[in-house]
Structure 1
Amino acid sequence: MFRNQYDNDVTVWSPQNFMRQECLDSRFVFDRPLPVSRLVSLIGSKTQIPTQRYGRRPYGVGLLIAGYDDMGPHIFQTCPSANYFDCRAMSIGARSQSARTYLERHMSEFMECNLNELVKHGLRALRETLPAEQDLTTKNVSIGIVGKDLEFTIYDDDDVSPFLEGLEERPQRKAQ
């Protein structure tokens, strides 16, 4: 298979490497971290170019970007069309509508929650996307935490167990 500089998909262009390089450039040139909104704006600009040119295929990837900067916490959703949105809570991907519904219903509670309660809300929203016969396990859940005075941390495998153990059983859905 031959690939050249004109290929426009995520097998050639890596969004995470682009973001990493932009953050490093900001640190090196300006001696400060790149604001999350500026990073997302750069991604939007980069992914928007192929949508305007004949024969160029848009990048077929949507991203959910969470970060914390001088302006506070941010969650951005980027779309394959190069649009991006600043959100309070968001879910993307297959079967994500039920998670978005959960997040919308409980949005008012989030401001008073501590870190563990926020993680549990996230896990409950994630659980809503699963089929009835499947449940959350250490094999299908990873948790990433970012915030003020917190170093970005990813919890995988057995590190997720304490969060899952504190989660109540799935409520039975009403048959329709």
Structure 2
Amino acid sequence: MASKGYDMTPTMYSPDGRIYQVEYAIETVKRGTLAIGVISKEGVIMAVEEKPRTLQSTDVTQKIFQVDYHIGVAAAGYIPDARVQVDNARFFSQGNRMTYDESVEVATVAKHLADQAHQFTQYGGVRPNGVSMIIAGVDQKGESIYVTDPSGTYVQFAAIAIGAGSDDVNAFLEKNYKDDLSLEDAAALAIAAINLKAEEKGGIKDIKMAKVSTESKIFEKVSEADLQKYSQNASKFVP
């Protein structure tokens, strides 16, 4: 690709209307391991593929974060950038609670994070964030999932995958997703979707998951025992 110096800054368009630094950041996302979000009639599911090193502690999830009681984030790409954005989202969410005495809406957090990402495409001396994030939760309006990307775009989805191999996984989700999924079926679908591209089919060893149920509106990590239970239903989604 002949960028001819137009990729030296995110503030410059190339003659064919491209911002190379933003495109490079989006390419970084495509090289990250999978992250998936699925809405069900009973809540939302966030699932990620994590491949820990041999002696690494697996108790702490590296790619799923809690923003507020009712909102979580799953990230793909350059995870340090995700951590900074999640800290920003937490501060914003708590500020909303202090100002308005109510929990922030998922869409408001998604727009805020997209606005922050967009700022890094407008100034010299900075680089775009190399991460996409799935913002999922249950608020006053019900269950919702949004995806932000390095350009500052944010889009709402019923089910979505980001990261390496996401095109094939999204085609799989489009084929198998239904509006009336239970929370358990949504979790099983997410496991089947990750295993679509995994080296070890049908396993849960490299899968981490969190959920927010419509009833509790509380972010919860999914235990390994529950993952094992959900994975038994994943076979009905296997192509």
Same fold (TM > 0.5): yes
Task: Work out the CA distance in 2 between the residues paired with 1:35 and 1:92.
Answer: 22
1:127 matched to 2:228? The reply is no
Which residue does the alignment assign to 1:140? 206
Q: Which has the larger radius of gyration?
A: 1
Which residue does the alignment assign to 1:106? 176
Which residue does the alignment assign to 2:143? 73
Deviation at 1:138, TM superposition (A): 3.6
TM-superposition CA deviations, 1:128-170 (whole Å, max 9, x none): 1224xx1243421112111312321111434422122343388
Q: 1:119 to 1:47 in 2, by over 3 A?
A: same
Q: 1:170 to 1:70 in 2, by over 3 A?
A: closer
1:23 matched to 2:90? The reply is no
What is the number of equivalent residue pairs in this alignment?
160
Task: Work out the CA distance in 1 between the residues paired with 2:104 and 2:117.
Answer: 19
Paired amino acid for 2:214: K
Q: Structure 1: where are the runs of 5+ without partners?
A: 1-8
Which residue does the alignment assign to 1:42? 112
TM-superposition CA deviations, 1:4-57 (whole Å, max 9, x none): xxxxx8747711111111111111111101111111111111111120122321
Task: Work out the CA distance in 1 between the residues paired with 2:185 and 2:237.
Answer: 16
Q: Structure 2: where are the runs of 5+ without partners?
A: 1-77
Task: Work out the CA distance in 1 between the residues paired with 2:91 and 2:103.
Answer: 12
Greater strand content: 2
Paired amino acid for 1:33: S
Paired amino acid for 1:94: A
Query: Which of the residues 71, 85, 89 maps onto 2:159?
Result: 89
Matched-pair contact (CA < 8 Å) for 2:191–2:204: no
Matched-pair contact (CA < 8 Å) for 2:131–2:149: yes
Task: Work out the CA distance in 2 between the residues paired with 1:106 and 1:42.
Answer: 31
TM-superposition CA deviations, 1:69-94 (whole Å, max 9, x none): 11121111111111111111100001
Share of identical aligned residues, percent?
Answer: 21
Aligned residues: CA RMSD: 2.2
Paired amino acid for 1:28: M
TM-score by length of 2: 0.61
Q: Which has the higher contact order (CA 8 A, sep 6+)?
A: 2
